[in-house]
Amino acid sequence: MADEPDLEPWIALARLAEAPTSEPLVEFVGNLSASDAALALSRLSDAEQTLVLTTLPAEHAADLLDQLPDAQALDLIEQLSPQAASAILDELPSNEQADLIGDLSPRVAEALLRRMDPAEAADARLLSRYADDVAGGLMVTEYLKYAENLTVGQVVADMRERADDYRDYDVQYAYVCDDQGRLTGVLRLRDLLLAPPAKPIVELMIRRPLSVRDDEPLDDVADFFSTHDYFGAPVVDADDRLVGVVQQDAVAEAWGERRDSDFLKTQGIVGGEEIRTMPLGRRSSRRLAWLSVNILLNVLAASVIAAYQDTLSAVIALAVFLPIISDMSGCSGNQAVAVSLRELSLGLVRPHELLHVWIKEVSVGMINGVVLGLLIGAVALIWRGNAALGLVVGAALCLNTMVAVSIGGVIPLVLKRFNVDPAIASGPILTTVTDMCGFFFVLGIATVFLEYLVV
C-alpha cells in the first residue's frame, strides 16, 4: 500500500481485507478518521463490508463501528452472523451495545444476547430498558465501585490485579457505595494514589457527591453538565443506588443527534434518520410516509383556488402573487415553529401555554406583516400601476403572516400536548393552513375589489 498512496480509502480497505494477515488492515483502519471510515465502508458491497468486519479482530471491529452513525452500524451488524456480531458487541461500551441491540428486532437481539458474554449481556438488557434520551439510556456500566469499609491499599491492589478488565474504562473517579449499593462518596484517583495504604477510603472520599437520576431527561442532563464542568457524573436510581456513569461527551453526542433528527423530521423524513447506505425500500417508505399525506393536503389547499377561479380568470396578475404570498407566509411560520421547538426542548415553554406563545408571536407577525405587505404592495403598484392590486396583495400577505406565525408558534405545543411528534407533524399542518389562508385572503379580498382590479 505504501506504493499506492493515492488509493481511495474504500479501495484500500477492500484490498487489505483480503490480505493474508489482519495487521495491515488494523493499521489502516486505525488511521482513518470517523468520516473517512463511514465513507469507506459505505462504498463497499455488503460482502466486502462483512469481510472487513470479520477480518478485523473483534476489538478493532468494535472501534470501527463505534465511529459510525448508529443507522450504518446497525445495518452492518445485521449483515453479520450472530457469532461474529455478538463477538463485536462484547467489545463495545455498554451504552453503545444497548443502543444497537434496542434497535434490532426482538428475535435478532435475543439471538445476539444469548451468544454474548453473560455479564455484558446482563448490562445490555438493563440499559435497553431505558429510553435513549434519558440518563439511564446514555450511561455506561463500566466504572469503578468500592465498598465503604475498604482501605486505600485494598483499592489500589484491586486496580492492579484487575488492570486488564479496567483498561478500557474511562476512569476519572472511583465511586464508594454502602452495603445497599447506595452512592455515598467519590474518590479522586489522584488523592487515592497519594494517600497512605492504610487510610480508610471513607476519610478520603468526597461526601454527598452530585449525581443524576437514571430517569432524568436529556435536557436536564445537558443542563447539569453546562452548570458543572465534569467529565462524567454518577447515575442513581430512585433509591440512590449507583447504576452507572454518564459521560459529558455522550450527552453532547446525544444532543447533536437529537438536533440532526429534529431537522430531518422537519423536512419530512419519518423516523428522523436516513443515510444512503440504508436499504432502498426503507428510505423510499420513510419519505413517502410524509409526501403522500402532503399531496392530499396540497390538493385541499388548491381547492380554494378552484372556488375562486372566476376571480383569478378576471385578474390573471393575481396568479403571479399567489406563490409569493404562500412562500413568504410559510417562511414566517417556519421561523415560529423553530422557536417553539427550541423552547420546548429547553423547557422554556410548556405545552399548555398557548395564549402566552400566541401573544408573543402575533405581536411579531403584525409588525413583520405590515412591513412585508407594504413591500409586496409596492411591487404590485410599480409593476401594474394599479393601487387596488397593491392593496389586495399587501393586505393578504399582512394577514397571512399573522396567521402563519400564530399557527407556527402554537401548533408544536398542541401536538406535544397530544403526544404527537411536533417536529415531523408541524410542517405539513403549517404548509396546508398557510396555503389555504393565503389563497383565500388574496382571492377573497380581490373578489370584493374586483371592479377596481379589472381595468
Residue with cell 399525506: 293
State residue 69's pLDDT score.
Answer: 78
Residue 178 in 3-state DSSP? coil
Q: Are 187 and 176 in contact (CB under 8 A)?
A: yes
pLDDT in tens, 29-47: 888 887 788 788 888 888 8
Top-confidence residue, 365 or 64:
365
Q: What is the torsional sign of CA 148, 152, 154, 155?
A: positive
**What is the mean predicted confidence (pLDDT) over 10-38?**
86
State residue 389's pLDDT score.
Answer: 94
State residue 271's pLDDT score.
Answer: 57
State residue 3's pLDDT score.
Answer: 43
State residue 2's pLDDT score.
Answer: 43
Residue 184 in 3-state DSSP? strand
Q: Are 189 and 143 in contact (CB under 8 A)?
A: no
How far apart are the C-alpha atoms of 318 and 453, rounded to whole Å?
Answer: 10
Top-confidence residue, 152 or 164:
152
Split at pLDDT 50, 70, 90, the class of 152 is: very high
Top-confidence residue, 300 or 216:
216
How far apart are the C-alpha atoms of 349 and 413, rounded to whole Å?
Answer: 9
The CA-CA-CA angle for residues 392, 395, 396, to 5°, reads: 80
- Give percent of the chain above pLDDT 70: 91
Query: 155: number of CA atoms within 13 Å, CB side?
Result: 31
How far apart are the C-alpha atoms of 317 and 189, rounded to whole Å?
Answer: 76
List of residues 6+ apart from 323 with CB closer than 8 A: none
How far apart are the C-alpha atoms of 376 and 412, rounded to whole Å?
Answer: 29
Q: Enumerate helices (H) and strands (E) in the chain, giving the number of each.
A: 23, 7
The CA-CA-CA angle for residues 150, 155, 159, to 5°, reads: 155
**What is the mean predicted confidence (pLDDT) over 295-316?**
85
Q: Which helix (H) or strand (E) holds 212?
A: strand 212-213
State residue 380's pLDDT score.
Answer: 93
How far apart are the C-alpha atoms of 97 and 92, rounded to whole Å?
Answer: 6
State residue 122's pLDDT score.
Answer: 85
State residue 427's pLDDT score.
Answer: 75
State residue 21's pLDDT score.
Answer: 84
**What is the mean predicted confidence (pLDDT) over 367-392?**
94
End-to-end CA distance of the chain: 78
State residue 264's pLDDT score.
Answer: 61
Q: Give the residue ranges of DSSP H helices in 167-307.
A: 189-194, 218-227, 248-266, 280-307
Top-confidence residue, 355 or 7:
355
Q: Are 225 and 251 in contact (CB under 8 A)?
A: yes
Split at pLDDT 50, 70, 90, the class of 65 is: confident
Residue 353 in 3-state DSSP? coil
**What is the mean predicted confidence (pLDDT) over 72-97?**
87
pLDDT in tens, 66-78: 888 777 888 888 8
Domains belonging to the chain, first-starting first, are 9-129 (1.25.60.10), 144-265 (3.10.580.10), 280-453 (1.10.357.20)
State residue 257's pLDDT score.
Answer: 75
Q: Over 50: is that where the pLDDT of 255 sits?
A: yes
Q: Are 344 and 420 in contact (CB under 8 A)?
A: no
State residue 9's pLDDT score.
Answer: 84
How far apart are the C-alpha atoms of 378 and 390, rounded to whole Å?
Answer: 6
The CA-CA-CA angle for residues 260, 265, 271, to 5°, reads: 95
Pick the range with the lowest mean pLDDT from 116-125, 231-240, 291-300, 375-384.
291-300
